Amino acid sequence: MTVAEWAGISVPVLLATYAQCIDGQLDDLKQRIEGAGERPDPAAGRA
């Protein structure tokens, strides 16, 4: 089952709806993804 099916809408409607929600957020999302790789490993402090 796809998310669109679960939501009871078509894939084009899903994309059209959420494309407006994330428009202009690509740079912020890229920074968040890149920053996630810079977080300290929580297991590194364990002995």
Q: Is 30 exposed, middle or buried (0-12, 13-18, 19+ CB in 10 A)?
A: exposed
Q: Alpha-carbon distance 43 to 31, whole Å? A: 24
Rounded Cα distance between 3 and 41, Å, is: 32
| Residue 39 confidence (pLDDT) | 67
Model confidence over 9-41: pLDDT tens digits? 999 988 888 877 777 788 888 888 888 877 666
pLDDT at 47: 57
Q: How far apart are CA 14 and CA 12, in angstroms?
A: 5
Structure tokens that stand for 40 in this block: 């300290």
